[in-house]
């Protein structure tokens, strides 16, 4: 049984993509391990079908964190035996390249985002240059590269001439038992007589859309805004809500388990995703929330960025906005909610789209990739 180790820099709790990949590989007959980190406040994770390892680190963010994590990861990988090394994102790539080449083992790179295009390093030239040096050193040594959208795949192909496979971050298709919206709302303590507009995300950071939906709150008629998730922007959003006296109109749940997230999504009427074009990574992103909304059967209001526009237009599951001003966002949501026949068509289109846009279909690409890796001598 081939032994596979996947590396991430997060605490494993809410990384649904990596969990799906690990579960698929386990079902294929691989002996799978996943290594990440543990915060002091990291929730415990339930027992999974594969092995999980969480490193305790002294530093939490910044250059010292990355230096500490990559050093610890390098030595951990060096002194444990595996057949296939899987680096998730550039911030785990260097140790995996060094160890896999030293041990003459196979390596897969799974880029969940266009790392050199992330907002956090766009105005930090020295930091960006350091990551660029690492990427340019590692990329020529890669044989199998996976990413989450065609736009990012095209960028990597143009830069490095590598064939890049696309495996989108799409939910598992499940039998929909969450059909009684009123019952779900009662269970979650949400109002039954108001519309619920949800914004969810594993990382609610600046320019990811939280600001736009909060500022649109007073323009939304007879509705509340539900923000599910955590991130560095949440405290600012909470302060804004408190300062404006919108506490009865905006609900923050914090980070929740995937099962509870599905309930919050199913209890909602419209899902929003308003990433702005402030960096290449934002521009080319294809967020998981888009597919979670589709699987929940709720129409979408999104910013006009290419990957999400492609999905929304192709499957007819919502509307795309150029103008993200609070009044326009609010009026768009109001107009959608008032057009019951159009909303029902959006919901039906979501249900139809979910039959095609699901992990059971997407994992076939992943299986082909790892069958090739496994069979290669």
pLDDT tens for each residue of 154-192: 999 999 999 999 999 999 998 776 778 999 999 999 999
All domains in the chain, ordered by first residue = 3-170+359-375 (3.40.50.2000), 181-354 (3.40.50.2000)
Which helix H or strand E contains 3, and what residues bound it? Answer: strand 3-7
Residues with Cβ within 8 Å of residue 313, at least 6 apart in sequence: 320
* pLDDT tens per residue across span 300-333: 999 999 999 999 999 999 999 999 999 999 999 9
Beta bridge partners of 6: 34, 86
Specify the pTM. Answer: 0.88
Q: Which residue has the tokens 């050193």?
A: 137
Tell me: pLDDT of 266 over 80.
Answer: yes
Tell me: pLDDT of 14 over 90.
Answer: no
What does 205-239 look like in DSSP terms, one character per residue? Answer: -TTSSHHHHHHTGGGSTTEEEEEEE--TTHHHHHH
What does 6-23 look like in DSSP terms, one character per residue? Answer: EE-SS-SSS-HHHHHHHH
The span from the CA of 222 to the CA of 180, in Å, is 20
Tell me: pLDDT of 118 over 80.
Answer: yes
Tell me: pLDDT of 272 over 80.
Answer: yes
Rounded to 10 degrees, what is the CA torsion of 42, 69, 55, 114?
60
């Amino acid at each position: 049984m081939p032994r596979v180790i996947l590396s991430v820099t997060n605490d494993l709790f809410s990384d649904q993509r990596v969990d799906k990949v690990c579960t698929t590989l386990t079902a294929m007959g691989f002996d799978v391990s996943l290594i990440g980190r543990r915060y002091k406040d990291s929730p415990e994770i339930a027992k999974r079908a594969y092995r999980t390892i969480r490193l305790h680190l002294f530093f939490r963010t910044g250059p010292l964190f990355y230096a500490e994590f990559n050093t610890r990861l390098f030595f951990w990988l060096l002194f444990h035996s595996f057949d296939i090394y899987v680096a998730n994102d550039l911030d785990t790539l260097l140790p995996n390249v060094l160890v896999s080449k030293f041990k003459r083992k196979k390596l897969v790179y799974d880029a969940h985002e266009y790392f050199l295009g992330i907002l956090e390093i766009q105005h930090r030239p020295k930091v960006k240059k350091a990551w660029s040096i690492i990427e340019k050193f590692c990329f020529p040594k890669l044989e199998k590269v996976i990413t989450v959208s065609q736009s990012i795949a095209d960028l990597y192909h143009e830069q490095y001439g590598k064939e890049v496979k696309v495996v989108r971050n799409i939910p598992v298709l499940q039998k929909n038992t969450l059909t009684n919206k009123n019952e779900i709302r009662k269970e979650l303590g949400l109002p039954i007589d108001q519309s619920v507009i949800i914004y969810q995300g594993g990382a609610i950071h600046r320019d990811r859309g939280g600001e736009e939906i909060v500022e649109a709150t007073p323009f939304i008629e007879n509705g509340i805004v539900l923000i599910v998730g955590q991130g560095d922007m949440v405290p600012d959003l909470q302060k804004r809500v408190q300062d404006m006296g919108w506490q009865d109109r905006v609900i923050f749940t914090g980070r929740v388990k995937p099962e509870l997230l599905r309930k919050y999504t199913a209890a909602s009427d419209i899902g929003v995703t308003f990433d702005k074009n402030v960096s290449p990574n934002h521009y080319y992103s294809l967020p998981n929330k888009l597919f979670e909304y589709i699987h929940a059967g709720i129409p979408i209001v999104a910013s006009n960025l290419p990957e999400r526009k492609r999905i929304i237009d192709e499957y007819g599951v919502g509307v795309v906005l150029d103008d993200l001003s609070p009044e326009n966002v609010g009026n768009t949501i109001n107009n959608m909610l008032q057009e019951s026949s159009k909303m029902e068509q959006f919901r039906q289109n979501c249900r139809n789209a979910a039959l095609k846009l699901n992990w059971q279909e997407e994992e076939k690409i992943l299986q082909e990739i790892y069958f090739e890796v496994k069979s290669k001598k």
